Amino acid sequence: MKHLIKIEDLTVKDINKIYDIAYAFEKGERKTDYSNKSICNMFFENSTRTKLSFEMAQTKINVKKFNFEAKVSSINKGENMYDTINNLSAIGMDAFVIRHTDDNLIEELSKEQYFKDVSFINAGSGKNAHPSQALLDFYTIKSHFKDFYNKTIVITGDITHSRVAKSNIALLKKFNMNIRCLAPNELTGEKIEGVQYYTSLKEAFDGADIVMALRIQKERFENETIDIKKYIENYQITKENLPKNAILMHPGPVNKDVEIEACLYDAPNSVILKQARNGVFVRMAILDIILGGIL
Ligand code: NCD
């Protein structure tokens, strides 16, 4: 595993290896020293959790980290991404954690012969993929349910614009989960094989074990419009409609009282903050595997 670009590139064996290592980090049973390696974080989009979680993971595995400041970089003087990466690898970077608005740029960089000596880790590419988020989400599911096979998950919210939904679906399919997507037609996106689609919350939530809420990602809207009042009326997750034994997940940021009723954020069956916590261990494992050549 030289790069982490998308879930589709990983086998179940790879994912389980990531989880074994993440679990060892979580238990405090694994220590690493990558003080001879350097990672550069390049975030071209807003981020709270993912950026700080990668930074925390880097600190904990003892690798040298550098933050590329997109807003004050020479990208604003017209330097392109290829020349930027070329120069940063000449300076001595071994790996790049990149979040970008472009769906395909990170994958294209990883295939570039020029960059054969460096690794790329996708921290969110456009509307396309967010593999570390999906990996930490499923790690959270696995740690909650002893037997996760045949569990039913409902992914609900703005699926059209969600890289989190796409990466999660790719991963959940590998573990044979029952996957349901719930959204109004305008937020359903392209239908994916193996997923059941619902427009009725009542029907989708019937028998659900896991509910994963997503934010309405207005900043990614092109010509679409959405009536928020109507969305809240028909799709908001509330303490009344959330199935009693289901866990509630959300990648964050949460718009309280839009996609979920505010009181659910830290309700006993919410694992939202556990997701944030687990993200550090999973990202430590991803970086350990890539930097250490473990897979
Ligand atoms: C998500 C993202 O950026 O794709 N957040 C995250 O990484 N935890 C989801 C979102 O922006 O709504």
| pLDDT of 114 | 87
Q: Which atom of ligand 1 is nearest to the CA of 158?
A: 12
- Residue stretches of the chain with pLDDT short of 70: none
| pLDDT of 137 | 98
- How far lies 252's CA from each of 16, 17, 50, 259, in Å? 25, 26, 10, 11
Q: How far is the CA of 75 from the centre of ligand 1 (A)?
A: 24
Q: Which atom of ligand 1 is nearest to the CA of 46?
A: 3
| pLDDT of 217 | 94
- Cβ count near 282 (within 10 Å): 28
Q: What is the pLDDT of residues 263-285, one digit of tens each?
A: 999 999 999 999 999 999 999 99
Bin 62: left if φ > 0, else alpha if -120 < ψ < 50, else beta: left
Strand order in the sheet with 247-249: 195-198, 178-182, 152-156, 210-213, 247-249
| pLDDT of 20 | 98
- Cβ count near 233 (within 10 Å): 9
| pLDDT of 89 | 96
| pLDDT of 150 | 87
| pLDDT of 70 | 86
Spell out which residues line ligand 1, taking CB within 6 angstroms: 49-50, 124, 130, 133, 163-164, 215, 217, 251-252
pTM, rounded to two decimals: 0.97
Q: Which residues, other chains included, contact 72 with Cβ-Cβ below 8 Å and sequence gap of 6+?
A: none
